[in-house]
Amino acid sequence: MKINVSEIFGSNVFNDGVMRARLPKAVYKDLKKTIEDGRELNPDIADVVANEMKEWAIEKGATHYTHWFQPMTGITAEKHDAFMYPTGDGKALNEFSGKELIKGESDASSFPSGGLRATFEARGYTTWDCTSPAFIKESPNAITLCIPTAFCSYTGEALDKKTPLLRSIQALDMQAIRFLRLFGNTTSKKVYPSVGAEQEYFLIDKEKYNKRKDLTFTGRTLFGAMPPKGQELDDHYFGTIHDRVAKYMEALNLELWKLGIAAKTQHNEAAPAQHELAPIHDKNNIAADHNQIIMEMMKTVADRQGLVCLLHEKPFAGINGSGKHDNWSMVTDDGINLLNPGKTPHQNTQFLLLLTLIMKAVDEHAGLLRASAACPGNDHRLGAAEAPPAIISIFLGEQLEDILEQLDTTGEATHFIKGSRLESGVDTLPNFRKDATDRNRTSPFAFTGNKFEFRMVGSSQSISDPNVVINTIVAEALCQACDELEKAENFDLAVHDMIKDIIAKHKRIVFSGNGYSDEWVEEAKRRGLPNLKNMVSAIPEMTRPESVALFEKHGVYTETELNSKAEVMYERYSKITNIEALAMIDMAKKQIVPAVIKYQTSLAQSINQIEAACPGMDTSVQKRLMNDIAANLAPLYEAMKKLEAEEKIASKIENAKEQANYFYDHVFQTMAEVRKPADALEMLVAKEDWPFPSYGDMLFDN
Ligand code: ADP
Ligand code: MG
> Which residue has the least CA distance to atom 14 on ligand 1?
196
- Express each pLDDT in 683-694 by its tens digit: 999 999 999 999
Which of the two residues, 345 and 552, has the higher pLDDT score?
552
Q: CB under 8 Å to 495, separation ≥6 — which residues?
A: 349, 353, 485, 488
Please work out whether the CB of residue 196 comes within 6 Å of at least one atom of ligand 1.
Answer: yes
- Ligand 1 center to residue 473 CA distance, Å? 21
Which DSSP state fits 271? S
Fold (CATH) for 168-416+442-557: Creatine Kinase; Chain A, domain 2 (3.30.590)
pLDDT value for 441: 80
Which DSSP state fits 378? G
- Ligand 1 center to residue 689 CA distance, Å? 47
- Express each pLDDT in 344-395 by its tens digit: 666 688 999 999 999 999 999 999 999 999 999 999 998 776 677 899 999 9
Half-sphere exposure of 525 (CA within 13 A, CB side): 7
Indicate which ligand has the atom closest to the C-alpha of 265: 1
Distance CA 582, CA 603 (A): 30
- Express each pLDDT in 460-488 by its tens digit: 999 999 999 999 999 999 999 999 999 99
| Closest by CA position to 527, among listed 506, 508, 504, 505 | 508
* Mean pLDDT computed over 254-262: 96
Please work out whether the CB of residue 329 comes within 6 Å of at least one atom of ligand 1.
Answer: yes
pLDDT value for 566: 96
Q: CB under 8 Å to 596, separation ≥6 — which residues?
A: 629, 633, 681, 685
pLDDT value for 144: 95
Indicate which ligand has the atom closest to the C-alpha of 261: 1
Residue type, 100: E
Tell me the C-alpha to C-alpha distance, in Å, between residue 282 and each of 166, 262, 278, 479, 648. Answer: 14, 9, 12, 24, 47
Going by pLDDT thresholds of 50, 70 and 90, the confidence category of residue 428 is: very low
Indicate which ligand has the atom closest to the C-alpha of 192: 1
Nearest atom within ligand 1 for CA of residue 328: 25
pLDDT value for 204: 96
- Ligand 1 center to residue 590 CA distance, Å? 46
- Ligand 2 center to residue 321 CA distance, Å? 14
Going by pLDDT thresholds of 50, 70 and 90, the confidence category of residue 422 is: very low
Q: Is the dihedral of CA 570, 524, 670, 591 positive or negative?
A: positive
Going by pLDDT thresholds of 50, 70 and 90, the confidence category of residue 701 is: confident
Determine what percent of the chain is predicted with pLDDT higher than 90: 73
The answer to whether the beta carbons of residues 82 and 119 sit under 8 Å apart is no
How many other C-beta atoms can be found within 10 angstroms of the C-beta atom of residue 319?
A: 22
Distance CA 636, CA 143 (A): 50
Which of the two residues, 647 and 104, has the higher pLDDT score?
647
> Which residue has the least CA distance to atom 5 on ligand 1?
278
Q: Of the given ranges (25-34, 190-199, 324-333, 636-645), which has the lowest mean pLDDT?
A: 25-34
pLDDT at 663 over 60: yes
pLDDT value for 425: 45
The domain locations on the chain are: 5-159, 168-416+442-557, 573-700
- Ligand 1 center to residue 550 CA distance, Å? 29
| Torsion angles phi and psi, residue 90, rounded to 5 | 85, 0
pLDDT at 432 over 50: no
Please work out whether the CB of residue 450 comes within 6 Å of at least one atom of ligand 1.
Answer: yes
pLDDT value for 435: 55
Which DSSP state fits 380? G
- Helix ranges (DSSP H) in 95-161: 98-102
pLDDT at 52 over 50: yes
How many other C-beta atoms can be found within 10 angstroms of the C-beta atom of residue 222?
A: 23
Please work out whether the CB of residue 278 comes within 6 Å of at least one atom of ligand 1.
Answer: yes
Please work out whether the CB of residue 294 comes within 6 Å of at least one atom of ligand 1.
Answer: no
Which of the two residues, 262 and 347, has the higher pLDDT score?
262
Question: Three-state SS across 514-553?
Answer: CCCCHHHHHHHHHHCCCECCCHHHHHHHHHCHHHHHHHHH
- Express each pLDDT in 584-623 by its tens digit: 999 999 999 999 999 999 999 999 999 999 999 999 999 9
- Ligand 2 center to residue 439 CA distance, Å? 12
* 5-159: CATH superfamily: Glutamine synthetase, N-terminal domain (3.10.20.70)
Please work out whether the CB of residue 439 comes within 6 Å of at least one atom of ligand 1.
Answer: no
pLDDT value for 345: 66
Please work out whether the CB of residue 194 comes within 6 Å of at least one atom of ligand 1.
Answer: yes
pLDDT value for 456: 95
> Which residue has the least CA distance to atom 1 on ligand 1?
198
pLDDT value for 465: 97
Which DSSP state fits 453? E
Tell me the C-alpha to C-alpha distance, in Å, between residue 198 and each of 234, 354, 379, 445. Answer: 20, 24, 20, 14
Going by pLDDT thresholds of 50, 70 and 90, the confidence category of residue 139 is: confident
What residues have their beta carbon closer than 5 A to ion ligand 2? 198
* Mean pLDDT computed over 100-124: 72
- Ligand 1 center to residue 450 CA distance, Å? 9
CATH of domain 573-700: 1.20.120.1560
Per-chain mean pLDDT for the chain: 91
Please work out whether the CB of residue 279 comes within 6 Å of at least one atom of ligand 1.
Answer: yes
Ligand 1 probe mutation, 266, 327, 337, 442, most atoms within 8 A of CB: 327
Ligand 1 probe mutation, 198, 285, 332, most atoms within 8 A of CB: 198
- Ligand 1 center to residue 90 CA distance, Å? 55
> Which residue has the least CA distance to atom 11 on ligand 1?
196
Q: Do β-strands 274-279 and 191-205 pair in parallel, antiparallel, or remain unpaired?
A: antiparallel
The answer to whether the beta carbons of residues 182 and 172 sit under 8 Å apart is no
Distance CA 318, CA 695 (A): 10
Going by pLDDT thresholds of 50, 70 and 90, the confidence category of residue 418 is: low
| Closest by CA position to 444, among listed 366, 496, 538, 364 | 366
Please, what's the b/e burial string for 158-193 (b: 16 or more CB within 10 A of its CB; e: otherwise)?
bbbbbbbbbbbbbbbbbbbbbbbebeebeebebbbb
Please work out whether the CB of residue 198 comes within 6 Å of at least one atom of ligand 1.
Answer: yes
- Express each pLDDT in 557-592 by its tens digit: 999 999 999 999 999 999 999 999 999 999 999 999
pLDDT value for 528: 96
pLDDT at 57 over 70: yes
| Closest by CA position to 301, among listed 107, 138, 410 | 138
- Express each pLDDT in 227-244 by its tens digit: 877 777 778 787 888 889
- Express each pLDDT in 483-501 by its tens digit: 999 999 999 999 999 999 9
403 three-class SS: helix
